[in-house]
Amino acid sequence: MKLLEVMNGVEFTSQKPWNEIENTEIKDIAYNSSKCEDGYIFVAIKGETVDGHKYVKDAYKRGTRVFILQDDVELGEDAIKLFVKDSRIALSNMSSNYFGNPSRELKVIGVTGTKGKTTITNYISEVLNQAGINTGVIGTNGTFYNGKSEKTVNTTPESYELHRIFRTMLDEGVKCVSMEVSSGGIMMNRVEDVNFDIGIFSNLSPDHIGPKEHPTFEHYLECKAKLFTLCDHGIINIDDKHAKDIIKHATCHIETFGIEKDADLKAKNIKYSRELDSLGTSFDVETKDDIFNAYICSPGTFSIYNALAVISVCRYLKIDQRLMLDALKNAKVKGRVEVLPVLDYATVIIDYAHNGVSLENILQTLKKYDHNRLICLFGSVGGRTKLRRKELGDVASRECDLCILTGDNPDFEDPMDVINDIAKSFEGSKCEYIKVPDREEAIIKAIEIAKEGDMIVFAGKGHEEYQLIKGERVPFSETEIAKKAAAKLMESRKIMVESL
Ligand SMILES: CC(=O)N[C@H]1[C@@H](OP(=O)(O)OP(=O)(O)OC[C@H]2O[C@@H](n3ccc(=O)[nH]c3=O)[C@H](O)[C@@H]2O)O[C@H](CO)[C@@H](O)[C@@H]1O[C@H](C)C(=O)N[C@@H](C)C(=O)N[C@H](CCC(=O)O)C(=O)O
Ligand SMILES: Nc1ncnc2c1ncn2[C@@H]1O[C@H](COP(=O)(O)OP(=O)(O)OP(=O)(O)O)[C@@H](O)[C@H]1O
């Protein structure tokens, strides 16, 4: 490919004459020097940890001769240096060009917000696929299309990976992509050149504020709001207290959904139901010219908000209403309020809630269903802010009858130290608690102590199939452990009954 085709739309200056740049062909783009070889362009990014300009010489040694730079670096005479104002923005533009601007040929739906991104993107894909629109997903749980999957390092991949994935999906017949748009992804210009058709805002609360992330809450909000300058049609949760701020920044057409405030799509007459393998919610959806009933096999108010976002998308894309409602009825997301039908006398749920806000949401939601005790098994990640431990402990000790404090990705920290931090929240609380640092033992304990009508939540790990211990991802499946423990328990009870 010609270098100039890749640079289309990127402003740059160079130390080389135009004819030399014009005649240069390139094989590929790399933003990590270790991937560089002859024929590549190396994009030097000033990172959060290191300055990519440090690795320019390494890329040169590997045979690369074309460089995108913000600062000058001394190199051999044969190097072509293209100077840009911002390497990340240049990488985004170049990646889109290199892969043939695939997002322009796809319908791209971006979902942003503090909570609900993974759930909404996956619901959209399930519903659209069932309606016959081949839809792929990109987000925290990975990349999925046509039954294939790929792991992602970031919720919103780096621009080069993103456009590569779009290209592959497009070549394999995908028509629509439902993707999570993190504030970090927007801050790092990963989605700058994505042609979004629809943007969705779920909600906003303080998160990702700190070193290497957002300096302030306002910055976090502005990053989220930027999505609504990159899309044609914005779908906004009007009940969120920051909806107005998001709309204020938007340049796209806006449509709203909600439960409390006036909205283009409003849920009413909410009813909850509890089955062995699901916690369901039924509600009426009212628009200015229609009213219909919807059912989802997921509990609580936040699930209704997620469903309203999906219904808004389907209406915008003119999906048949019957098809949409049928698909929504069965839509499930791994590790998001996932009911494990392992015990026939108690409800066991796996959920990804790992901060105060989401744990409070799920626990308060579950309390709305008939239950005996509300039991929560949780921990908090090692080596990170102690504030999260306090938030989680405060919420769980307030909302639950019993908590099992355990390990959750302890990494290099002793899980007991994390547990002891969390336990401080239980001083003076009516909620009982036990400490079981090994998460597998904790799950077995939870299954053993379950009584008729109990509601038990394993919070924090959600879809994760590992436990992070001393820098290593050790395979770990909550589902498998719970299944085995329940089967063993049932077997021992059967033996006891038979021996009577
Ligand atoms: C702190 C942070 O955000 N880091 C992200 C960032 O890496 P970075 O800029 O820090 O990279 P760096 O390590 O400083 O290196 C700078 C440059 O030198 C290059 N390099 C480095 C070493 C070498 O030998 N050769 C070389 O060329 C690197 O490839 C890079 O281009 O850019 C990388 C590529 O886009 C990301 O993978 C990486 O995400 C890390 C893994 C991360 O944890 N990010 C989190 C904060 C994040 O982005 N989270 C959001 C979700 C949260 C939200 O809602 O905001 C997400 O979308 O995942
Ligand atoms: N709309 C929502 N509002 C509040 N909480 C939600 C919502 N949807 C899901 N949750 C809760 O938050 C947890 C994470 O949900 P989900 O993974 O969909 O959000 P996310 O935005 O992708 O989060 P993260 O950035 O942490 O990956 C769920 O397990 C559930 O407990």
Is 495 or 492 the better-scoring residue by pLDDT?
492
In the reported structure, the alpha carbon of residue 220 is separated from the centroid of ligand 2 by a whole-number distance in angstroms of 17
Reported as a single tens digit per residue, the pLDDT across 330-364 is: 888 889 899 999 998 999 999 999 999 899 999 99
Reported as a single tens digit per residue, the pLDDT across 382-415 is: 988 899 999 999 999 999 999 999 999 999 999 9
Please state the atom number of ligand 2 nearest to the C-alpha of residue 361.
5
pLDDT computed for residue 48 by the predictor? 84
| Boundaries of every domain in the chain | 3-98, 102-330, 338-494
Partners of residue 434 on adjacent β-strands: 404
Averaged pLDDT, 270-282: 84
In angstroms, rounded to a whole number, what is the distance separating the alpha carbons of residues 284 and 147? 33
Q: Just give the CATH number of 3-98.
A: 3.40.1390.10
- For residue 141 and ligand 2, the question of a CB distance below 6 A is answered with no
In angstroms, rounded to a whole number, what is the distance separating the alpha carbons of residues 11 and 276? 60
Best probe residue, ligand 2, of 114, 115, 303 (max atoms within 8 Å of C-beta)? 115
- For residue 158 and ligand 1, the question of a CB distance below 6 A is answered with yes
* CATH class of domain segment(s) 102-330: alpha beta
Buried b (16+ CB within 10 A) or exposed e, 284-317: ebbeeeeeeebbbbbbbbbbbbbbbbbbbbbbbb
In angstroms, rounded to a whole number, what is the distance separating the alpha carbons of residues 338 and 457? 10
Q: What is the DSSP letter of 54?
A: G
- For residue 48 and ligand 1, the question of a CB distance below 6 A is answered with yes
In the reported structure, the alpha carbon of residue 91 is separated from the centroid of ligand 1 by a whole-number distance in angstroms of 14
Query: Could you tell me the pLDDT band of residue 168, with boundaries at 50, 70 and 90?
Result: very high
**Which tokens in the block code for residue 51?**
């300055």
**Which tokens in the block code for residue 19?**
């004819």
In the reported structure, the alpha carbon of residue 12 is separated from the centroid of ligand 1 by a whole-number distance in angstroms of 24
- For residue 103 and ligand 2, the question of a CB distance below 6 A is answered with no
- For residue 119 and ligand 2, the question of a CB distance below 6 A is answered with yes
Query: Which residues are annotated as part of the binding site for ATP?
Result: 113-119
Between CA 157 and CA 167, with CA 161 as vertex, the angle to 5 degrees is: 125
98, 72 Cβ separation under 8 angstroms? no
SS3 state at 29: strand
In angstroms, rounded to a whole number, what is the distance separating the alpha carbons of residues 466 and 448? 23
pLDDT computed for residue 206 by the predictor? 78
Query: What angle, 0 to 180 degrees and rounded to 10, lies between the N-to-C axes of helices 356-367 and 300-316?
Result: 100
Length of the chain, in residues: 500
Q: Just give the CATH number of 338-494.
A: 3.90.190.20
Of 12, 33, 35, nearest in space to 24 by CA: 12
Is 298 or 164 the better-scoring residue by pLDDT?
164
Residue 277 has pLDDT above 80, yes or no: no
159, 91 Cβ separation under 8 angstroms? yes
Reported as a single tens digit per residue, the pLDDT across 220-253 is: 899 999 999 999 999 999 999 999 999 999 999 9
Q: Are strands 455-459 and 107-112 parallel, antiparallel or unpaired?
A: unpaired
In angstroms, rounded to a whole number, what is the distance separating the alpha carbons of residues 253 and 234? 6
Reported as a single tens digit per residue, the pLDDT across 47-101 is: 988 999 999 999 999 999 999 999 999 999 999 999 999 999 999 999 999 999 9
